[in-house]
Amino acid sequence: MPASQAGMRAPTYRLKKTVPVPYTRNLPDIVRRNLGHWIDRKYHGAGIIEHISDTGDHLFTVKAGGTPNARFSTVTLRRFAKIADDQGLGSLRFTRSGSIEILAGSLEHALAVKKAVEGIGFHVGGWGPALWSVNSCTAYLTCTTAVVDAPSIAQALYDTMVPYFTGEIPLPAKLRINVAGCPTACGGLVADIMLAGHYGAAPSFDPERIRFCLPASAKVLAQVVPEVQMVCPVNAIESFAKSDGSVGINIIEKKCIGCGRCKDVCDHITWDPSKIGVSVLIGGKSSNTGVGPTLARVLVPWIPVHPPRYREPVAVIRKIIDVWRAGAKPGERVADYVNRVGMKAVFDTLKVPVGPWNRPVELSTGFGVREFLPR
């Protein structure tokens, strides 16, 4: 902070800032002067895009797969920055999916960036008909409600699917995989394939400590509904007045769907760590192509997880990709493929048993920007 501002009180100083900061301030000159002039692009493999401007300028972006939940050490960040300075245009960014993009001024320099990035252990790819990303929420790293360790699952998935990312094994279209640590799904519900951490059995509770999550007395209970009961979406938790005037709860196991919301509001709800797993969902995307933006739908309601390699969910996702690759048309993302063949056909092909929690619901959408355009 300049000396002239050092003595100012914080609120006054903040008012003198330029908010928002112009996004063009940190752009390389070639990007800034070609804003609005990019007219075409060309892929050089799965990890390099050539941007073509009507001014005659050409710009190259090199994309590298990041780490789960975009956690990088400062040492790694400095290495990427040095590559961007030495072989690129001194510009890099980290995408919402945790990938790294470095700008270069020519194909020769882009290939040099690719070689340098691979030299520090990262793969280059993730564009075109390829696996774009395996993204995850933070899970146990900072979250108190995680069911499974999403970043380590994402790493196991990525480790086995690098050929899809680099383009070595071609895919019909773009593919995104998200991993959420719990049913709240901070990992995102709009991925082509998604895993969501899920409990495989109803929770239990400490009968003494649970009182800290309940009204102080039966008299109070007559006026309020305990939050731990209120948040249950299927009324699987009921409260009652005890004979001594205190309050208790019951958990109705047959109703419980294992969503974990009760745990979100009460630390004294406990889950059996040996019965944790993931749900598998398919057919989500945010783009306006094909059937338009869609949410993913449940395919497999629950499978167990066993770190560190997570063989069960990895095998399920690989099977989904195999079926999609074999049956999809060129450019057809998972949601579009499912919409064309029908969810029931997908269940039958994958031999997924149908139960009360994963009935093959057909897609009824088509909503997108096109709906607002004149016909």
Q: In whole angstroms, what is the distance from residue 199 CA to residue 183 CA?
A: 9
My answer on whether 301 and 158 are in the same domain is yes
Q: In whole angstroms, what is the distance from residue 32 CA to residue 47 CA?
A: 23
- Is-contact 257 234, C-beta < 8 A? yes
Q: In whole angstroms, what is the distance from residue 11 CA to residue 121 CA?
A: 45
Task: Answer whether residue 100 is part of any domain.
Answer: yes
Q: Which residue range forms the structural domain that includes residue 328?
A: 131-199+277-372
Task: Answer whether residue 7 is part of any domain.
Answer: no
Q: In whole angstroms, what is the distance from residue 129 CA to residue 20 CA?
A: 36
Amino acid at 140: Y
Task: Answer whether residue 124 is part of any domain.
Answer: no
β-bridge pairing 92-94 and 100-104: antiparallel
Helix (H) or strand (E) run with residue 251 in it: strand 247-251
My answer on whether 79 and 172 are in the same domain is no
Task: Answer whether residue 222 is part of any domain.
Answer: yes
Task: Answer whether residue 2 is part of any domain.
Answer: no
**Number of independent structural domains in the chain:** 3
My answer on whether 177 and 289 are in the same domain is yes
- DSSP state, residue 284: -
- Last residue within a domain, chosen from 119, 154, 172: 119
- Report the CATH number at residue 230: 3.30.70.20
My answer on whether 368 and 287 are in the same domain is yes
- Report the CATH number at residue 82: 3.30.70.3340
My answer on whether 170 and 38 are in the same domain is no
Q: In whole angstroms, what is the distance from residue 78 CA to residue 63 CA?
A: 17
Do you find a cis peptide bond into 183, omega within 30 degrees of 0? no
- Last residue within a domain, chosen from 119, 142, 164: 119
pLDDT, averaged across the chain = 89
Tens-digit pLDDT profile for residues 219-260: 999 999 999 999 999 999 999 999 999 999 999 999 998 888
Helix (H) or strand (E) run with residue 282 in it: strand 276-282
Q: In whole angstroms, what is the distance from residue 265 CA to residue 213 CA?
A: 8
| pLDDT of res. 374 | 60
My answer on whether 68 and 89 are in the same domain is yes
| pLDDT of res. 3 | 45
| Six token digits for residue 113 | 């960036």
- Is-contact 137 96, C-beta < 8 A? no
Task: Answer whether residue 355 is part of any domain.
Answer: yes
- Last residue within a domain, chosen from 119, 149, 173: 119
Helix (H) or strand (E) run with residue 345 in it: helix 343-350
The pTM of this model reads 0.84
Task: Answer whether residue 5 is part of any domain.
Answer: no
Q: In whole angstroms, what is the distance from residue 102 CA to residue 62 CA?
A: 5
My answer on whether 250 and 157 are in the same domain is no
My answer on whether 113 and 224 are in the same domain is no
Distance between alpha carbon 161 and the CA centroid of its chain, in Å? 16
Per-residue pLDDT of the chain (375 residues; tens, 9 = 90+): 444 444 445 555 555 666 677 788 888 999 999 999 999 999 999 999 999 999 999 999 999 999 998 999 999 999 999 999 999 999 999 998 889 999 999 999 999 999 999 999 999 999 999 999 999 999 988 887 789 999 999 999 999 999 999 999 999 999 999 999 988 887 677 899 999 998 888 999 988 899 999 999 999 999 999 999 999 999 999 999 999 999 999 999 999 988 888 988 998 998 888 889 999 999 999 888 888 888 888 999 999 999 999 999 999 999 999 999 999 999 999 999 999 999 999 999 999 988 877 877 766 555 554 555 565
| pLDDT of res. 190 | 84
Task: Answer whether residue 359 is part of any domain.
Answer: yes
My answer on whether 227 and 348 are in the same domain is no
- Report the CATH number at residue 147: 3.30.413.10
My answer on whether 175 and 317 are in the same domain is yes
| Six token digits for residue 92 | 């890099």
My answer on whether 45 and 102 are in the same domain is yes
My answer on whether 152 and 135 are in the same domain is yes
